[in-house]
């Protein structure tokens, strides 16, 4: 599987992926050049946000993993994503936020 990590922490995320799944082909960066070179062949995209106008070039894309809790940023591109699975990280910070809220209440 070819994965494109388009994120401000792309190198770090790509390293974590490679450590756990060394057989994946991972391209990483957070610039227009990286997006231009790798989006057409990417089967999976990991991103916080990405330019929706680039989606027509994503011919092989099957999955988008958003690193945000919401997915509203991709709603304008629903038609272009009808054959793409979109997932997010909803709930990933739940324990941390609960502990923070509890700490604020007892201050």
Name the pTM for this structure. 0.83
How would residue 89 be classed by pLDDT, with cut points 50, 70 and 90? confident
- What is the rounded CA–CA span in Å between residue 49 and residue 64? 10
Residue 15 Cα distances to 58, 74, 89, angstroms = 23, 26, 19
pLDDT digits (tens, 9 = 90+) for 38-51: 999 999 999 999 99
Three-state DSSP class for residue 94: helix
What is the DSSP secondary structure assignment for residue 78, as one 8-state letter? T
């Amino acid at each position: 599987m070819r994965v494109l990590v388009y994120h401000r922490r792309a190198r770090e995320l790509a390293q974590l992926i490679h450590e756990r799944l060394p057989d994946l082909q991972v391209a990483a960066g957070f610039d227009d050049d990286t997006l231009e070179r790798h989006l057409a062949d990417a089967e999976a995209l990991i991103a916080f946000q990405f330019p929706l106008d680039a989606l027509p070039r994503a011919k092989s894309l099957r999955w988008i993993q958003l690193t945000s809790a919401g997915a509203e940023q991709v709603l304008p591109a629903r038609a272009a994503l009808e054959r793409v699975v979109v997932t997010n990280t909803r709930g990933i910070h739940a324990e941390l936020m609960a502990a923070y809220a509890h700490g604020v209440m007892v201050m």
